[in-house]
């Protein structure tokens, strides 16, 4: 189901992901307060983001952080929203003002699928599922949604050639991926760039190294699908603001009855009014609808006075 069938307005803007473009960093960059005090640090040899002094290395830490800022937050996965009944979803959401819906399916497909063709098919399905997913909260009255991502990715048809695989910087490595190295010391291999954390705006003593092109470091991880680096494909993420057609307003619009006329006052017993029915009556398979228009005067009005359409006669026509 296309997103436009559930939306009255869709606005999409590009945004810049945080470096390195990996999940623990990118997801934390979407959290409240990240625009003011965001950094990438290590704690006990584990890499994570830091917001206002809170270390956020994984999903559990991010969920706890969100709950501390938005107590009535509801956190769901894409699969839960799609598979849950409308009644169960309504009960789960209750009166919460903020709903988080998480999806990890695209990363999972790229990193774990047996073939690139199968992975791309799964990714296409996820995009369709996201559009379907937005229809579920709309059905229970949720009117606005924002769709964003933690990072982009590179996805090649075949494994990176051995000539495209770079030596790692070595040194005190805190984290290593195909497209980024984070740590201290070591060397800067040919074909890569090294950036101190301070130059990225982080209050950290860590250095960051990235392949300068679409090359990859010699490390674990897929050789077709990867992220963490500085390419536009990895760094530019969409931010989509959606105003949803909630079921109540959609039904009201569908069943609407609109009366129009080309006069200011009723001065004759015979006059013309144009009646337009909503989309429900234009459906080829819709049943018959009975509509009665009634005109009647306001209390105390003399019958000799002209009757305006906003008032009416006590007469069906």
How confident is the model at residue 279, as a pLDDT?
52
Round to whole Å and give the CA distance between 290 and 46. Answer: 69
Mean pLDDT of 226-246: 94
- What one-character DSSP code corresponds to residue 159? P
- Read off the pLDDT of residues 180-225 as tens digits, 9 standing for 90 and up: 999 999 999 999 999 999 999 999 999 999 999 999 999 988 889 9
- Read off the pLDDT of residues 255-291 as tens digits, 9 standing for 90 and up: 667 777 777 777 777 888 877 776 555 544 456 667 7
For residue 111, report the phi and psi dihedrals to the nearest 5 degrees: -90, -20
Mean pLDDT of 221-247: 92
Residue found under tokens 């991502």: 149
DSSP 16-59: EPPSS-SHHHHHHTTSTTHHHHEEEEEETTEEEEEETTEEE-SH
Cβ neighbours around 19 below 10 Å, total = 25
pTM comes to: 0.74
How confident is the model at residue 172, as a pLDDT?
97
């Amino acid at each position: 189901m296309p997103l436009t069938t559930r939306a009255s307005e869709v606005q999409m803007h590009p945004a810049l992901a945080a470096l390195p473009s990996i999940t623990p960093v990118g997801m934390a960059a979407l959290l409240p307060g990240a625009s003011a005090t965001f950094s990438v640090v290590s704690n006990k040899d584990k890499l994570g983001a830091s917001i206002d002094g809170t270390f956020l290395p994984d999903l559990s830490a991010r969920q706890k952080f969100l709950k501390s800022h938005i107590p009535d937050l509801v956190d769901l996965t894409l699969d839960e929203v799609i598979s849950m009944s409308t009644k169960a979803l309504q009960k789960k959401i209750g009166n919460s003002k903020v709903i988080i819906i998480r999806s990890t399916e695209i990363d999972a497909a790229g990193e774990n699928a047996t073939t690139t063709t199968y992975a791309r098919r799964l990714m296409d399905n996820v995009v369709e599922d996201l559009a379907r997913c937005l229809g579920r909260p709309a059905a229970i009255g949720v009117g606005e949604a924002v769709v964003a991502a933690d990072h982009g990715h590179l996805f090649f048809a075949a494994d990176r050639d051995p000539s495209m695989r770079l030596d790692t910087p070595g040194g005190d490595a805190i984290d290593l991926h195909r497209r980024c190295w984070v740590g201290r010391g070591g060397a800067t291999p040919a074909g890569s760039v090294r950036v101190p954390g301070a130059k990225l705006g982080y209050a950290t003593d860590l250095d960051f190294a990235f392949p300068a092109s679409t090359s990859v470091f010699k490390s674990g991880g897929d050789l077709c699908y990867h992220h963490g680096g500085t390419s536009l494909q990895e760094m530019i993420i969409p931010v989509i603001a959606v105003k949803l057609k909630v079921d109540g307003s959609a039904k009201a619009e569908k069943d609407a009855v609109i009366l129009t006329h080309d006069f200011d006052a009723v001065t004759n017993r015979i006059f013309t009014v144009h009646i337009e029915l909503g989309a429900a009556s234009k459906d080829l398979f819709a049943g018959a609808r009975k509509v009665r228009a009634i005109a009647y005067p306001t209390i105390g009005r003399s019958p000799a006075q002209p009757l305006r359409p906003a008032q009416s006669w006590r007469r069906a026509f």
